[in-house]
Amino acid sequence: MKTLVLRVDPRNPDPEKIVAAARRLKEGGLVAFPTETVYGLGADALNPKAVLSLFEAKKRPLDNPPIVHIGEPGEIDRLAVEVPPEAERLVERFWPGPLTLVLKRSPSVPSVTTCGLDTIALRMPKHAVALALIRGGGTPVAAPSANLAGRPSPTTAEHVLQDLDGRIDLILDAGPTAVGVESTVLDLTVRPPQILRPGGTPREALEEVLGEVVFHPSVLAEREVEVERAKSPGMKHRHYAPSAEMWVVEGEPEAVKEKLSELAEELRRGGKKVGILATEETLSRCRAEVSASLGRREEPREAARRLFGALRELEAKGVEVILAEGVPLRGLGVAVTDRLRKASGYRIIKAGKG
Ligand code: TXA
Ligand code: MG
């Protein structure tokens, strides 16, 4: 299969290209498109064959359902049942935007789209191209991140090509995405509401609307957590991982800097090619042959925007080991640290203790 790349203006996409992409979707094809978080790989959510081919193209395990993307809040009532009143308040405040709601699914949704679960994850993205495509197709769009399963999520069309060239029909290329980490996945079928995956909408913001919101035990986990499949699909699979071995060093900035330098030196002496992924402040004081920046320590949004691209960049430079600095657990820093820990396969080092 030849993968066609169509460049589109992120704010004002060419209607002809959108029509062509929407037609591919309706025909059962696979179309990658930008959202405000990461690029998604879209298939018609109501076409079981198309959804199955989505799993195949991504090599995604069949127990990890995609998010279903919609173009209007009103679509919720077509796809979900017993929608609690909280949903409406959240939609009003956060949609379109990086928040995914897990609700009871309507029987009208094909079972393969939700991997046989009785719930469905719904989101209305905040990106002109995504919305034009979904509305143009006239159907809800199942769209996991447009990467091979287990790899860092794509924040540019180039990242999508790296993983999926020849495996999908079309990519709408509208340049880099704004947020850089995926949407927050919030389960509204339990009390209190539970964050299954931290993401572009911080817990603090959700609590302003809902009161108490809790994290699922897998969020920010420091080791593999046993999860009940029915509640938390896909959590047992490795995520976001670069091809290099990765370690995350967390703690006070000074101790982290010391530890990173020490580890880098030790690995270099052992003949390993090392890459450091850290904040500007740390990089300016840490000797590194190969490095990538997470931006300034006080700017978690910058770290989120850079994270996945930086992992791919270090990998492309052929490093064998990535040493990463954990970022403060504020705002989007929670999502970034969660991704770093999971990408490292939980190789976490606490600096300055013990
Ligand atoms: O920002 C995003 O959310 C991006 C863009 C493309 O919208 N999409 C994305 O999709 O990250 P994906 O498939 O890579 O991640 C979907 C997450 C997974 O963690 C999956 O387990 C969870 O949502 N999920 C999907 N359906 C669920 C359900 N019924 N119950 C619980 N979790 C669900
Ligand atoms: Mg994903």
Please name which of 232, 238, 287 lies closest in space to residue 265, comparing C-alpha atoms. 287
- Indicate if ligand 1 lies below 6 Å from the C-beta of 54: no
* β pairing state of 184-187 and 170-173: unpaired
Task: Give the pLDDT confidence score for residue 228 in this predicted structure.
Answer: 66
Given a cut of 60, is residue 38 above it in pLDDT? yes
Q: Which ligand 1 atom is nearest residue 123's CA?
A: 7
Whole-angstrom distance, CA of residue 286 vs CA of residue 307: 19
- Indicate if ligand 1 lies below 6 Å from the C-beta of 145: yes
Given a cut of 80, is residue 9 above it in pLDDT? yes
Residue appearing with tokens 């995350």: 248
Arithmetic mean of pLDDT over the chain: 95
Distance 319 CA to ligand 2 centre (A): 24
Please name which of 168, 339, 177 lies closest in space to residue 242, comparing C-alpha atoms. 339
Query: Sorting pLDDT into bands at 50, 70 and 90, what band is 27?
Result: very high
Residue type, 229: R
Q: Quick one: which ligand is closest to 114's CA?
A: 1
206-209: long-range pairs with CB below 8 Å, 24+? 206/90, 206/99, 209/86, 209/89, 209/90, 209/93, 209/94
- Nearest-CA residue for ligand 1 atom 7 is 40
Task: Give the pLDDT confidence score for residue 354 in this predicted structure.
Answer: 54
- Indicate if ligand 1 lies below 6 Å from the C-beta of 233: yes
Residue appearing with tokens 């308040």: 89
Per residue in 303-346, pLDDT (tens digit) is: 999 999 999 999 999 999 999 999 999 999 999 999 999 999 99
Please name which of 335, 62, 304 lies closest in space to residue 196, comparing C-alpha atoms. 335
Q: Which ligand 1 atom is nearest residue 181's CA?
A: 1
Residue 187: φ, ψ to 5°: -90, 115
| Cβ neighbours for 11, distance < 8 A, ≥ 6 positions apart | 128
Distance 5 CA to ligand 1 centre (A): 24
Mean pLDDT of the region 237-243: 81
- Among 185, 186, 236, 308, which residue has the most ligand 1 atoms within 8 Å of its CB, making it the best to mutate? 185
- Indicate if ligand 1 lies below 6 Å from the C-beta of 183: yes
Tokens of 314: 């270090």
Given a cut of 80, is residue 230 above it in pLDDT? no
- Cβ pair 184, 100 in contact under 8 A: yes
Query: Sorting pLDDT into bands at 50, 70 and 90, what band is 47?
Result: very high
Whole-angstrom distance, CA of residue 319 vs CA of residue 273: 5
Which domains does the chain carry?
Answer: 4-85+104-180 (3.90.870.10), 245-350 (3.40.50.11030)
Given a cut of 90, is residue 139 above it in pLDDT? yes
| Cβ neighbours for 275, distance < 8 A, ≥ 6 positions apart | 244, 288, 290, 291, 292, 314, 317, 319, 321, 322, 323
Q: Quick one: which ligand is closest to 100's CA?
A: 1
- Cβ pair 51, 45 in contact under 8 A: yes
- Indicate if ligand 1 lies below 6 Å from the C-beta of 119: yes
Mean pLDDT of the region 9-23: 98
Task: Give the pLDDT confidence score for residue 239 in this predicted structure.
Answer: 81
Distance 342 CA to ligand 1 centre (A): 16
Query: Sorting pLDDT into bands at 50, 70 and 90, what band is 241?
Result: confident
Whole-angstrom distance, CA of residue 286 vs CA of residue 291: 10
Per residue in 52-96, pLDDT (tens digit) is: 999 999 999 999 999 999 999 999 999 999 999 999 999 999 999
- Nearest-CA residue for ligand 1 atom 3 is 183
Query: Which of 181-190, 232-241, 311-320 shows the lowest per-residue confidence on average (mean pLDDT)?
Result: 232-241
C-alpha to C-alpha distances, 151 to 9, 132, 244, 291, 336, nearest whole angstrom: 27, 27, 11, 20, 15
- Indicate if ligand 1 lies below 6 Å from the C-beta of 154: no
- Among 182, 218, 308, 338, which residue has the most ligand 1 atoms within 8 Å of its CB, making it the best to mutate? 182
**pLDDT higher for 161 or 240?**
161
